[in-house]
Amino acid sequence: MFMEVAPDMRVVTADKLELLGSPLLAEAVEGALMKKVGQTQVLADQLGILPTHQAIFLLKNCLSLPKLLYLLRTAECWQYPDALQKFDETIRSKAEQLTNVSMTNTVWEQAALPTRFGGLGLVKAADVALAAYASSLHGVADVVHSIVRSNSVQEKCTRLTEAWTSCYTADAPRTENRRFQSAWTAVQHTRTATRMLENADVITRARLLAASSSESRAWLAALPVSIFGNLLEDAHLRIAVARRLGAPVCQPHVCRCGSTVDSLGHHGLVCKLAKGRHGTHAVLNAATKEPSGLDRGDGKRPDGVTAFPWRNGKPLVWDVTVADTFAQTYIGHTSRVPGSAAEVRENQKLRKYDGLADRYVVQPLAFETTGTFGPLTKKFFKDLSRKICECSGNPRSGEFLRQRISTEIQRGSAVSVLGTFNEMRDNEDVFLAFRLADRE
C-alpha cells in the first residue's frame, strides 16, 4: 500500500541500514565488515604496479587499519572476530606477496605490532577492534548522557571495560585516559612485545630490542621517494623487512670469502669482502676525504673536521663506525641494551682520538647494522637536528635527517648481504634475474 503511494521510496532492510557510513543495527555490522574486506582486496591488488617500498608504505599507512578504523570506532565490530580475521588475513597475504617475505605465524605476530614495538605497523583489526569501540564510546559518553539523560551509555562503557579486562587479563587504562584508543592498545602491544622478548633467544632478543629503537624504525616512516634518497630497491626492501622480522633472508650458502652464511644473512654484515659495509660508511660520512693535519702519529685520521668552531671555540672532528648488532663480540650487550654495540665503538673512538681532545670536540658517530645509534651519536644528532631546524625553519628537518640515515643503514646492510653471493655479483644477468624474482 505504502509503495503504491510512494513508488520511488527506497526500502532499506535492517542488515543494510547505515548512518554516515556506519551500520545502525547489529544485523548490519558483519555485512559492512565484509564489504570492507572486498574493497581492501581490490585496492591492495593495485599495489603490485608500484615499487615494493612504496606499495608497503601505502598498505601500512592507507589501506590496512586506517581504512577500517572509522567502522571499528562507530560499530561493535569486535563482536565479529571471523570477519575481522578475514580482513587481517587479506593484509597478511598482501604483505607477504609484496615483500616476498614468508609471513609465518611468528613473523606475522611481530609484523602486526606498531613500529615502536618492533613491528612493521600492519596492526591487526582483531587486536584493536574492542579498544577502538571502547575508547570511542568513553569519549562521547558524557555528551550522550547530557542529551538522553539515561545511564545506558555509562553502563555500556562499564560492560566494554569488563569485556576488555577479561579478554586481555590486564587493568583497564585510568578513567581519564579511556577515551584514547592508544591508552588501551599500548597495554595490549606492550604485553605482546614483552612476551616475545621473554620467549626469545639472545639473537632474537637483540633483534627485537634494536627493532624497537626510534632510529632503527625511522626508515619505515620515511616517504619512499627516490629524489629524497629514501626509496629502497625491491631486493633491499625485502632484506630490510626480513632482517627486522627475523625471517629467512637467503638460502644458507658459502660466502665469496669462504665463510658460511646462514639463512639470516648475518655473515654479510661482518664479512671483510662485503661491499655494503664500506658503502654505508661512505654514505654516513659527509666528508669524502679525511682531513689532513689531524694525524695522531700513526697515520690514522678522523673522517672529518668542521671548518668553523662547533663548541667552546673548538672545531668538531668526527669519525664514523658501524658495528654489527649480532657480532659475537657484542651480542652479550645488544641482547640486553639496544645500541650497546655502538656504545662500545663510541668509547673506542674516544680513546683513539684522546690526543685531539684538547684542540677539538671529538665526536664518534657509531651506528649498528640494525639501525640503532650509540648514546653519544644520538645526542649529537639531537643537537645537530636542532641547529638544522633553526636554519631551515622546518621543525621536521631533524626527523628527515634521521629517516635518511636510517634508510641508508638498511640499504648498506642489504647490499652487504647480497655481497656474499660471489657469482651473482660477477654475472649481472643472474643477479638481475634474482632481483626480478623478488618482485613476483
Phi, psi of 438 (to 5 degrees): -60, -30
Shortest Cβ 268–Zn ion spacing (Å): 7
Shortest Cβ 257–Zn ion spacing (Å): 3
Q: Which is nearer to Zn ion, 257 or 287 (CB)?
A: 257
Of 131, 241, 255, 409, the residue at the interface with Zn ion (CB under 5 A) is 255
Cα 270 to its chain centre, rounded Å, is: 24
Shortest Cβ 260–Zn ion spacing (Å): 9
**Cross-strand pairs, 365:** 320
Shortest Cβ 421–Zn ion spacing (Å): 10
Q: Which is nearer to Zn ion, 174 or 272 (CB)?
A: 272
Burial of 292 (0-12, 13-18, 19+ CB in 10 A): exposed
Q: Which is nearer to Zn ion, 255 or 341 (CB)?
A: 255
259 makes contact with Zn ion (CB under 5 A): yes
Instruction: Concatenate the DSSP letters of all residues of 206-269 into one string.
Output: HHHHHHHSTTTTHHHHS---GGGT-PPPHHHHHHHHHHHHT---S--EE-TTS-EE-TT-GGGG
Shortest Cβ 273–Zn ion spacing (Å): 5
Stretch that binds Zn ion, among 76-84, 137-145, 267-275, 393-401 (CB under 5 A): 267-275
Q: Buried (b) or exposed (e) across 192-208, using 16+ Cβ within 10 A?
A: bbeebeeebeebbbbbb
- Interface mask toward Zn ion for 268-307; x: CB under 5 A: ---x------------------------------------
Stretch that binds Zn ion, among 14-22, 130-138, 256-264, 400-408 (CB under 5 A): 256-264
Gap between the Cα atoms of 238 and 249, Å rounded: 8
Would you give the DSSP letter of residue 59? Answer: I
- Interface mask toward Zn ion for 323-342; x: CB under 5 A: --------------------
Shortest Cβ 372–Zn ion spacing (Å): 23
Cell numbers linked to 367: 651506528
Count of residues in contact with Zn ion, rule CB under 5 A: 4
Q: Which is nearer to Zn ion, 92 or 243 (CB)?
A: 243
Of 257, 282, 350, 389, the residue at the interface with Zn ion (CB under 5 A) is 257
Length of the chain: 440
- Spatial contact of 29 and 125, defined as CB atoms under 8 Å apart: no
Q: Which is nearer to Zn ion, 204 or 259 (CB)?
A: 259
Residues 6+ apart with CB under 8 A from 155: none
Shortest Cβ 417–Zn ion spacing (Å): 10
Shortest Cβ 272–Zn ion spacing (Å): 7
- Interface mask toward Zn ion for 214-253; x: CB under 5 A: ----------------------------------------
Q: Which is nearer to Zn ion, 13 or 251 (CB)?
A: 251
Closest CA to 357 of 302, 285, 291: 302
Stretch that binds Zn ion, among 161-169, 259-267, 305-313, 336-344 (CB under 5 A): 259-267
Q: Which amino acid is at 324?
A: D
Q: Which is nearer to Zn ion, 197 or 257 (CB)?
A: 257
- CB count in 10 Å sphere of residue 9: 9
SS percent in the chain: helix, strand, coil, step 5: 60, 10, 30
Q: Which is nearer to Zn ion, 128 or 255 (CB)?
A: 255
Shortest Cβ 107–Zn ion spacing (Å): 26
Sign of the torsion angle spanned by Cα atoms 180, 185, 188, 193:
negative
Phi, psi of 260 (to 5 degrees): -85, 135
Q: Which is nearer to Zn ion, 55 or 271 (CB)?
A: 271
Residues that bind Zn ion (CB under 5 A): 255, 257, 259, 271
